[in-house]
Amino acid sequence: MVVDALGRMLHLATPPRRVVSLVPSETHAVVALVGAERLVGRTRYCVEPAALDAAIVGGTKDVDVDAVVALAPDLVLANREENARPAVEALIARGLPVHVSFPCSVADSIAYLRSLAALLHAPDTHATALERLHDEFARSPIVPPRSVRRVFVPIWNDPWMTFDARAFASDVLELAGGLNVFDDRPRRYPLAADLGRRAPLSPERVEGRDTRYPRVTLDEIRARAPELVLLPDEPHEFTPRDADTLVELGIPRAAIRFVGGKDLFWYGAWLLDGLPRLRALLSE
């Protein structure tokens, strides 16, 4: 019996044999925990591991509810941030056992893996391994605190967007030995306020909105003076042209690296390889 991110209690008396995953990182986690045989449905973005036979039920934001129901799953995996709320609510209303996750830190990711292992009736060896990795990295900073590298990681470029300290990727970055240069910069509403063109709405009017992903100007990026820029290939695939834009700000081209976004944004079992890989990159 586990409690999900919506506070709903889920209890599966028998191991689920028909699993539909609506989250790429959770698809990977299912296969890591119990193999691909139980996975009967996935999104078009669930590409790890490759060559999965599971049926495609749309994307993360445009889930085909009827297609999911038709697969008769005895467990559906969703995420509060990655999946559109109406589709998740529709699946719950149709009586399907839906687990909704929302990890915002590596510690949350460990708890998520334990919950998933419990639902699948699988050993929690991956959660234990990740917990040990987390503790090792937390106890052994990669460099002295005064030498931590100041890192900028954008997630979009029109306008430029990034994340603050409350986002999952920021915690991953910190454990890997980096400092998010926008860790203290929340999103402001409306867009013009976020880009510094008008006064932001009051905290009362913003209450309940997600403020973890600010849109930032090129002047802000320059002022934050990152020592390293990581350009990921997801959720937006950055290009050499984006690197050129940053070079024009005065950021040395040698300080700009293209990286796999999964290492920053995928929670769950992926972190067992992704976190050490990211740490190795930041230590170069």
Same domain, 117 and 6: yes
Same domain, 252 and 185: yes
Assess whether pLDDT exceeds 80 at residue 256.
yes
Q: What is the pLDDT of residues 74-102, one digit of tens each?
A: 999 999 999 999 999 999 999 999 999 99
Assess whether pLDDT exceeds 80 at residue 251.
yes
Same domain, 184 and 237: yes
Range of the domain at 239: 141-282
Same domain, 161 and 190: yes
Same domain, 17 and 92: yes
Average pLDDT over the chain reads 94
| Least trusted range by pLDDT, from 46-55, 141-150, 176-185, 243-252 | 141-150
Q: What is the pLDDT of residues 117-175, one digit of tens each?
A: 999 999 999 999 999 999 999 887 665 555 578 999 999 999 999 999 999 999 999 99
Full DSSP string of the chain: -EE-TTS-EE--SS--SSEEE-SHHHHHHHHHHH-STTEEEE-TT--SSSS--SEE-B-SSSB-HHHHHHT--SEEEEETTTS-HHHHHHHHHTT--EEEE---SHHHHHHHHHHHHHHHT---HHHHHHHHHHHHHHHS-SS-GGGPEEEE--SEETTEE---TTSHHHHHHHHTTEEETTTT----SSHHHHTTSSPPPPHHHHTTS--SS-EE-HHHHHHH--SEEEEESSSS---HHHHHHHHHTT--GGGEEEE-THHHH--STTHHHHHHHHHHHHT-
pTM for this model (two decimals): 0.92
